[in-house]
Amino acid sequence: MAYTLSSATDGQTRGVGPKHCVTRVELSVTAASLLDRDVASKSDPFCVLFHEVDGNWAELGRTETAVNNLNPVFGVKFQVDYHFEEVQKLRFALFDEDKCATQLYEHDFLGEYICTLGVIVSNKKLHRPLVLANGKPAGKGSITITAQELSDNRIITLTLSGRKLDKKVEFECINPKKQKKKKNYKNSGVIILKSCKITRDYTFLDYILGGCQLMFTVGIDFTASNGNPLEPSSLHYINPLGSNEYLAAILAVGQIIQDYDTDKMFPALGFGAQLPPDWKVSHEFAINFNPTNPFCSGVEGIAQAYSACLPHIRFYGPTNFAPIINHVARFAAQALQQEKAAQYFTLLIITDGVISDMDETRHSIVQASKLPMSIIIIGVGNADFAAMEFLDGDASVLRSNTGEEALRDIVQFVPFRDFRNAPKETLAKSVLAELPQQVTQYFKQRNLPPTNTAPE
């Protein structure tokens, strides 16, 4: 008989809903080759951490002052709540302490570094140059930020036996009611502990800090139902502000996911269009028209390639999802060789209408559920998205047309119209809410530890 006890103390409900991906991260800071602002001695630096709130910087905390030291290793560490589905912008600013100064701006500024918390945790240890307020280098000054999750995610497995074994720990089983009634009561039996094993219950952040890369691919619907992109009524029409629902969806999701891929090179594919020069319809083409290298540099590169391709293709149809799902699945299948949690693939499909190849799509998703892969679908426009809700699999387990069940729920569908009048951040929160749980679920099913973790 075996019992498993969780010693988690981070306040999370493990494996239940999006709260599972919220935890606290401890950030350690060191600096090197700081500017020397003092005359008779070296600078006395301290570091202040700010986070962005509604476009303004709010102080989160500050370190101690390292007296007469241009290469400080600060003992005070920062603790920050980590939310995967949010862009958490941080600013690390270093100052030379002036004992007479009462306001922060009165201390001599030594340089700063601005980034997102996602970039820090995906690198685990980040080393970057410091810059001054005018954007110029702060001499040779640099900062190193190290991230560590603050949680106890061990699982203690106890194996119990009813038989007495030598050299095992015994516990008497006492029934308080019987003990009160019977004077000669000794016990109601003996519990014998046969073995005790401590293992790790890895969290999403364990995998990210361990070096797991989230490989991001975008699939864009260019079928004729979207309308002529030159006309304002089209879903692909780029308004005077330089945006539309497709671009808004790409940026909302991409600006978060891109922090978890070190090279930030992302494939961007289109489907449902006729391509030059022979105008054959394609359901799996590179929007940069380079089939051997469909990668775009960062989410901004995807947006640029999307805008640039619109005048050169003809919207057509039908709306087939299976080819683009299978495209990403081929790469995810190669990751089955990995012995540790090194890569996980996320496909974002943005579409305006009803799926034409539902049977093939269901089959592709069921097969993809066996792979390190998730699918996010954002529906733009005002079409009937009942089929997308069906693929989401929240109400029931998705089955292929042959009856095979998906091993995991890997699809998240969100209609863009529900977020048109909401802050842009809320779309990403909703779309990405399930991804951390899907990542950890896959690697636990495969019994794969984080890449930098030694076997138990």
- pLDDT, tens digit (0-9, with 9 covering 90-100), for 417-429: 999 988 878 999 9
For the stretch 286-311, pLDDT in tens is: 999 999 999 999 999 999 999 999 99
Q: Could you read off the pLDDT of 327-339 as tens digits, one per residue?
A: 999 999 999 988 8
Q: Which residues pair with 419 in a beta bridge?
A: none
Contact 392, 354 (CB under 8 A): no
Give the closest residue to 149 by CA, choosing from 60, 20, 23.
23
Least confident of 43-47, 139-143, 294-298, 444-448: 444-448
pLDDT of residue 4: 52
CA distances from 167 to 159, 164, 196, 388 (A): 14, 9, 13, 59
Q: With b meaning 16 or more CB within 10 Å and e meaning fewer, what string describes 127-148?
A: eeebeeeeeeebbebbbebbbb
The predicted model gives 186-192 an average pLDDT of 86
Q: Are strands 45-53 and 89-96 parallel, antiparallel or unpaired?
A: antiparallel
Q: Let me know if 177 is exposed, middle or buried by CB neighbors in 10 A (0-12, 13-18, 19+).
A: exposed
Please report the pLDDT score of residue 23 as a whole number: 85
The pLDDT-based confidence of 20 (bands split at 50, 70, 90) is: very low
Residue 353 confidence (pLDDT) above 70: yes
Q: Where are the alpha helices (DSSP H) in 298-381?
A: 298-309, 322-334, 358-368
pLDDT grade, residue 195 (50/70/90)? confident
For position 392, what pLDDT does the model report?
82
Q: What's the mean pLDDT when you consider all of the chain?
A: 89
> Would you state the pLDDT for residue 10?
39
Residue ranges of E strands in 251-306: 265-271, 273-275, 280-282, 285-286, 295-297
Q: Which of 19-28, 64-73, 198-207, 393-402 has the lowest mean pLDDT?
A: 19-28
Residue 160: the pLDDT is 57
* pLDDT score of 192: 83
H or E stretch at 356: none
What domains does the chain contain, in order, with CATH numbers? 18-150 (2.60.40.150), 154-200 (no CATH), 205-445 (3.40.50.410)
Q: How confident is the model at residue 21, as a pLDDT?
A: 44
What are the tens digits of pLDDT across the range 75-122? 999 999 999 999 999 999 999 998 888 899 999 999 999 999 999 999
> What is the model's pLDDT at position 455?
46
- Has residue 365 got a pLDDT over 80? yes
Percent of the residues in the chain that have a pLDDT greater than 90, as a whole number: 71
